[in-house]
């Protein structure tokens, strides 16, 4: 699909050009017309395809001038559909803005806060509008990484993206940074010029029980809640489902918020330690924070996708978005099962048919919980990034033009 969309509403002309191509049955399907005019290519797909060097070489031959950026997934999102075992390409040509790309390696034993600072220091801050990043989904402390980036960039520039996935195996992930894919790497795109972004993350999980205090934690390990062993309290709430831990933990995440904040983050349990009566999560649990248990509600989970799209569009401050990049947690897919595609349908219902939608299922999401909120590392959320180029015009007319070629 290739579209050049112009929308005139008295104030805005949208002129980004976007093309989507699907790799399936060992070949790329669709008309790749942008060619060397493409400046940025997003590639989301099955790890075997992302790691296949011959597939990357073919992408490079189709888009010789583009920066190719992507990762392995736990499912791909394109247009109105969710796929598995495939690879989706979204190629973009900017008219009034530009992106600067970079990458950084994850060194074993590194301090992820300092790594985030180092990454952010490589980004030019003048006229910076948005940062989108993809990272290894296994060898990472996403919460510390994001905190380090924010410490250098500040809280006024939106930071979004996500962790790579590996189906439901949680074994190894792969990231493309304009070269053959690797694990233990982070890649980013920093946007400048006449580009606008809108972003939001929403969970839709129901909280239950009283709010408690994290009295002992270290990094991503939760030892005590209200001075009692955390695992004992968690098992008490789960009842019969406790026997299925840690697998059943996907259906019962926890929310955490700092005492001086109204915003909470959702954390998914990765494992349990029976010996220490502790719980191991996918991101940091701040000691002294307030926590609540959560449970799945399919209706509110699906509706959260609509809320995220509405919030992102409001932040964009335009009637239409040109590109939507959706990063959705694999845990939501496990819970929603056959209702998973309803989330994508809800997004499309808010954004309309003209917005190009791409994305993937992840091991973690990065974005703000609401407008004007700081970006955080999340689990179990639907996160949406909207991008559009803008140009002020005085014309009061309203017309739409869709062209089938560049």
Q: What DSSP letter does each residue of 348-378 carry, written as one string?
A: HHHH-TTSEEEEEEES-EEEESSTTPPEEEE
Q: What is the pLDDT of residue 71?
A: 98
Q: Give the pLDDT of residue 12.
A: 43
Give me the residues of the chain with pLDDT under 50, please.
1-13, 392-406
Helix H or strand E segment including 10: none
Q: What's the pLDDT score for residue 7?
A: 35
Q: Which two tokens stand for residue 344?
A: 């994508």
Residues 6+ apart with CB under 8 A from 381: 201, 202, 203, 266, 304, 308, 328, 329, 332, 365, 367
Structure tokens at 378: 């999340």
- Cα separation, 120 vs 165, in Å, equals 23
With 0-12 / 13-18 / 19 or more C-beta atoms within 10 angstroms meaning exposed / middle / buried, residue 244 is exposed
Cβ distance 361 to 305 under 8 Å? no
> What's the rounded Cα separation, in Å, for the pair 314 and 287?
34
- Read off the tokens for 263: 């915003």
Which residue, chain included where needed, has tokens 């392995």? 72
143 CB-side CA count, 13 A: 15
Q: State the Cα–Cα distance between residues 253 and 296, nearest whole angstrom.
A: 9
Tokens linked to 317: 């401050």
Within 10 angstroms of residue 101's Cβ, the number of other Cβ atoms is 16
Q: Report the pLDDT value the prediction gives residue 398, as an integer from 0 to 100.
A: 28
> Which run of H or E residues covers position 127?
none
Q: What is the pLDDT of residue 28?
A: 85
């Amino acid at each position: 699909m290739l579209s050049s969309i112009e929308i005139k509403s008295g104030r805005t002309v949208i002129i980004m050009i976007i093309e989507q191509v699907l790799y399936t049955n060992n070949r790329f399907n669709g008309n790749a017309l942008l060619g060397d005019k493409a400046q940025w290519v997003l590639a989301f797909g099955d790890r075997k395809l992302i790691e296949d060097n011959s597939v990357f070489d073919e992408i490079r031959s189709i888009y010789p001038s583009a920066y190719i950026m992507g990762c392995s997934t736990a499912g791909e999102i394109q247009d109105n559909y969710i796929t598995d075992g495939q690879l989706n390409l979204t190629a973009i040509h900017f008219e009034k803005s530009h992106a600067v790309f970079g990458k950084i390696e994850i060194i074993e034993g590194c301090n992820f806060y300092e790594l985030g600072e180092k990454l952010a220091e490589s980004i030019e801050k003048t006229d910076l509008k948005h940062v989108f990043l993809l990272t290894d989904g296994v060898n990472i402390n996403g919460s510390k990484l994001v905190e380090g980036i924010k410490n250098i960039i500040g809280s006024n520039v939106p930071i979004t993206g996500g962790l790579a996935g590996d189906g439901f195996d949680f074994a190894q992930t792969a990231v493309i940074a304009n070269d053959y894919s690797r694990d233990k790497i982070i890649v980013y795109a920093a946007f400048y010029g006449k580009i606008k972004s809108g972003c939001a993350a929403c969970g839709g999980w129901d909280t239950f029980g009283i709010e408690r205090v994290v009295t002992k934690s270290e990094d991503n390990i939760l030892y005590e809640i209200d001075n009692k062993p955390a695992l004992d309290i968690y098992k008490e709430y789960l009842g019969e489902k406790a026997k299925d831990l840690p697998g059943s933990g996907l259906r019962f995440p926890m929310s955490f918020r700092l005492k001086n904040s109204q915003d909470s983050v959702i954390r998914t349990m990765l494992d349990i330690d029976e010996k220490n009566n502790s719980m191991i999560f996918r991101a940091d649990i701040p000691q002294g924070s307030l926590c609540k248990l959560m449970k799945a509600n399919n209706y509110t989970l699906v509706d959260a996708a609509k809320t995220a799209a509405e919030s992102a569009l409001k932040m964009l401050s335009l009637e239409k978005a040109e590109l939507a990049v959706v990063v959705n947690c694999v845990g939501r897919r496990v819970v929603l099962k056959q209702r998973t595609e309803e989330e994508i349908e809800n997004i499309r219902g808010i954004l309309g048919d003209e917005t190009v939608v791409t994305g993937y299922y992840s091991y973690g999401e990065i974005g703000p919980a609401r407008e004007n909120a700081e970006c955080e590392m999340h689990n179990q959320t639907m996160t949406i990034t909207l991008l559009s180029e803008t140009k002020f015009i005085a014309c009061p007319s309203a017309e739409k033009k869709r062209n089938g070629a560049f």
